[in-house]
Structure 1
């Protein structure tokens, strides 16, 4: 049973405590209710995908309480400061390079080296973020493919019993999704949204660059999905002599996604294990993964990793 919390001091404190403990909490924002989890906790983030029934792992936007929290995790720039001063809190997400030792789960970034951060313009969301003191990954709090939730009832209709709590603050002041600007090199408009392009360009004093075709992954980050440079062979019972093995369950290997066959544990280990095996510069053999629940998203990502490499 999912707790329904009111947006008073007790409810805000309880929501913050649940998030710190690794639970999922649906939070109101100025756009829709977001399904929040500690962005540093891979198991908690994996549970977002399990609860929503998401069939693939895509980068998630991380919500922060203030600029100082964002600066703990990303390489902040003068341009980021200019845009944040003008539009935070608000419907603007900035994509920036991750700092070394950032501590953010690789499930949040989908294995990429950048992070999408936003400071929401909602007093209850900001109060929870400030009280929790942690970065919170929060896609919309609905089953994948369903209409985005703008009330606590919408959240419970799809997720009751699958998440720890929903913090009820009545209907969201329904707006459009956040504008996403990439600040990796030249400022780039990755997704139009609640902050107009013209307003951004007025503050920047120059035009935003358009993204390259076919290079955007949700929530608007540049570059294709993470894939190892090594060849990847799926559904392998064992490794060949020249390969390293990524095991699952009773099929062991150099690394094992989950020795107990737990798909949430497997999802939380997926990107980190692929990175480590890729560093061996050997082809990677991967044990079969059940194609149920989170296994569907794991297999989707593994199929992308095993796709023929360009060049």
Structure 2
């Protein structure tokens, strides 16, 4: 089901979700990127429930989600006032990005206000904030009249959920979890994260649907890659933002990438693979030849050569393949170009974390 025909919830259901948040409970919410596991961002006990449900290390910061007030006569939203309880030093450049891209799949990192809970920031002095664009998330946040902390609604390190069914499956048995169904997520990968906390301009911490090129063309603000703008040799030991670990977004089935036209090479690297291999192939390319690797029984899965469509279906595809009992999943390496950076980032981390054992996450 597409988000266009998403089942927009009755106000009674939204009110129940607001009450759940006020009571310190968790609510799985749809956003345009992925589903989030939301708790009151001002309630330390509620935030701890997120970490417990996900099995997530407590030094991992969470993203604060807030909504613009619903005032139809307001042409320019006063984001500075909305950010004041959370962030310090909101620069002119940061405001340019906010006015252009919020609400939307863009998270910004600022120095945190002293009132922001340490539980939320992983004990760090920065806070990550975004305003989601999904109508249900917006309505919930407006009625809640506060902010929620909301990492992706999945077990730590695993494939992010892009439908309400994914969330229910992920947290099966967690009877008190309220899940708001907003249809399938349109963007399909997590938000772009840009850091403004250093005072040294804008730095890309996680690629996503909104690229540095788009930011530059629409706002005139240059977003640097880490280490590009300054000779900063400070070692960042703690993850500053969500999804920055080497192993993340990972299926239980081993996942590998293959270079263009090199499927058979990739298959021959896995001689011990029992036989069942799922091979994702570009919809723009002709079918693979089965010659040359008779031992592998493989099935082709077509993936879109359009970066936006590919992103929106990536996690759905990984989840489906993961449940089909393959011995190995092969994906083509995404082409060059920053519009592919977001999915390239997710696929590389998914490969690194993939496989049946979860202790490969220790190697981060």
Query: Does the pair score TM above 0.5?
Result: yes
Q: Does the C-alpha gap of structure 1 residues 188 and 221 become closer, same or farther in structure 2, counting only changes over 3 Å?
A: farther
For the residue of structure 2 that corresponds to 1:168, the secondary structure is coil
Q: Does the C-alpha gap of structure 1 residues 44 and 206 become closer, same or farther in structure 2, counting only changes over 3 Å?
A: closer
CA distance in structure 2 between the partners assigned to 1:218 and 1:141 by the alignment: 19
Q: Which runs of 5+ in 1 are unaligned?
A: 223-299, 301-311
Q: Does the C-alpha gap of structure 1 residues 221 and 172 become closer, same or farther in structure 2, counting only changes over 3 Å?
A: closer
Equivalent residues in 2 for 1:17-96, closer than 5 Å? 17-66=19-68, 67=79, 68-75=81-88, 76-96=90-110
Q: Does the C-alpha gap of structure 1 residues 124 and 6 become closer, same or farther in structure 2, counting only changes over 3 Å?
A: closer
For the residue of structure 1 that corresponds to 2:222, the secondary structure is coil
Q: Does the C-alpha gap of structure 1 residues 189 and 174 become closer, same or farther in structure 2, counting only changes over 3 Å?
A: closer
CA distance in structure 2 between the partners assigned to 1:157 and 1:195 by the alignment: 29
Q: Report if aligned partners of 1:189, 1:210 keep a CA contact under 8 Å in 2.
A: yes
> Comparing 9-18 with 155-164, which one deviates more in the overlay?
155-164
Q: 1:183 aligns with which of 189, 196, 215?
A: 196
Q: Which runs of 5+ in 2 are unaligned?
A: 1-6, 69-78, 228-232, 245-361
Aligned to 1:291: none
1:199 matched to 2:201? The reply is no
1:11 matched to 2:13? The reply is yes
Which structure has the larger Rg over C-alpha atoms?
2
Q: Report if aligned partners of 2:151, 2:242 keep a CA contact under 8 Å in 1.
A: no
How much does 1:153 deviate? Answer: 1.5
Q: Report if aligned partners of 2:105, 2:132 keep a CA contact under 8 Å in 1.
A: yes
- TM-score, length basis structure 1: 0.64
1:164 matched to 2:180? The reply is no
1:139 matched to 2:151? The reply is yes
Q: Report if aligned partners of 1:82, 1:203 keep a CA contact under 8 Å in 2.
A: no
Aligned to 2:186: 173
Q: Does the C-alpha gap of structure 1 residues 87 and 45 become closer, same or farther in structure 2, counting only changes over 3 Å?
A: same
CA distance in structure 2 between the partners assigned to 1:6 and 1:206 by the alignment: 36
Task: Summarize deviations over 1:79-108 as a string: whole Å, max 9, x none.
Answer: 2211111000111101011123x2x22111
Q: Does the C-alpha gap of structure 1 residues 160 and 220 become closer, same or farther in structure 2, counting only changes over 3 Å?
A: closer
CA distance in structure 2 between the partners assigned to 1:160 and 1:11 by the alignment: 21
For the residue of structure 2 that corresponds to 1:62, the secondary structure is strand
How much does 1:218 deviate? Answer: 4.9
CA distance in structure 2 between the partners assigned to 1:62 and 1:161 by the alignment: 27
